[in-house]
């Protein structure tokens, strides 16, 4: 009973922070499951990917209603992202947990410092659609993002949204909506592979999914009232702490 409450708490925390900070829950959920609940990262990753399916389709439905999804890019890039997810899911059986933890640590540090640095104000940005020129590059990046995302249990929004926004030239709101729908398809493919390989722990999954759904709703509400500076500082501190906790033991083992 205590363990189930702990799994719900992990999902709730990931959903709350993910919704508050405007990120998918995966980048927060995996560290929470491993650090707080003591779940092995090889078990936490498939659970995170499966929970992302629920979250992504739920969120993308709202973006679709508001016309904030580029369906052409969803169709093209999702194919390569799905292939990447399938690749990453298969590779997870052969890559040791130590290296998976270190890869996720690097992604956490990248996310923390990139948000702290900030970006050019939206009102000064000119949105020029460059899909014809850079589509090939974006397909490769989508494949690699899918592979890494499935391997470490994150959706990949931290990578795909900047690609759609800065390289393709979509408005930020459309980039978020497009990425959200893409993640639903790609995470579904990865979770299917994990399920067929018997890597999804069904005793943990229900509590985590319940927690992240409840947390994301409340976190999203709080996020609409949050001051940007507070969000940046909170995100930076949490990411650094989780990166430290994830990497400490693997680094000690390597040394």
Q: What confidence tens digit (pLDDT) does each residue in 91-130 have?
A: 888 888 788 888 888 887 876 776 666 555 444 444 567 7
pTM (global) more than 0.85: no
* Cα Rg of the chain (Å, integer): 17
Task: Return the SS3 of 192.
Answer: helix
Q: What is the pLDDT of residues 9-47, one digit of tens each?
A: 888 887 777 666 656 667 778 888 888 888 888 898 899
The structure tokens listed for 158 are: 């931290």
The rounded distance, in Å, linking the Cα atoms of 19 and 26 is 11
Q: pLDDT digits over 184-231, tens only?
A: 888 888 888 889 988 898 889 888 888 877 877 776 666 556 666 776
Distance CA 116, CA 239 (A): 11
> Measured between alpha carbons, how far is 255 from 76 in angstroms, rounded to an integer?
43
Per the prediction, the chain carries an average pLDDT of 80
- What is the model's pLDDT at position 116? 65
- The whole-angstrom separation of Cα 231 and Cα 224 is 11
């Amino acid at each position: 009973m205590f363990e189930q409450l702990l799994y719900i708490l992990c999902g709730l925390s990931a959903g709350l922070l993910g919704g508050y900070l405007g990120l998918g829950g995966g980048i927060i959920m995996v560290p929470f499951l491993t650090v707080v609940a003591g779940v092995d990262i090889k078990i936490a990753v498939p659970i995170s990917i499966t929970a992302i399916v629920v979250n992504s389709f739920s969120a993308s439905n709202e973006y679709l209603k508001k016309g904030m999804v580029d369906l052409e890019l969803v169709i093209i890039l999702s194919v390569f992202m799905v292939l990447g997810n399938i690749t990453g899911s298969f590779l997870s059986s052969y890559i040791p947990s130590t290296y998976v933890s270190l890869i996720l640590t690097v992604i956490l540090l990248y996310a923390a410092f990139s948000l702290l640095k900030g970006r050019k104000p939206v009102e000064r940005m000119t949105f020029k659609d460059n899909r014809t020129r850079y589509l090939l590059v974006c397909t490769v990046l989508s494949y690699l993002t899918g592979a890494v995302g499935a391997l470490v249990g994150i959706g990949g929004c931290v990578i795909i949204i900047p690609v759609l926004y800065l390289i393709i030239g979509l408005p930020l709101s459309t980039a978020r909506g497009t990425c959200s729908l893409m993640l639903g398809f790609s995470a579904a493919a990865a979770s299917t592979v994990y399920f067929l390989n018997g890597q999804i722990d069904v005793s943990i999954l229900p509590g985590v999914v319940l927690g992240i759904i409840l947390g994301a709703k409340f976190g999203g509400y709080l996020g609409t009232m949050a001051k940007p500076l507070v969000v940046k500082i909170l995100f930076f501190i949490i990411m650094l702490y989780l990166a430290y906790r994830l990497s400490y033991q693997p680094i000690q083992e390597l040394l």
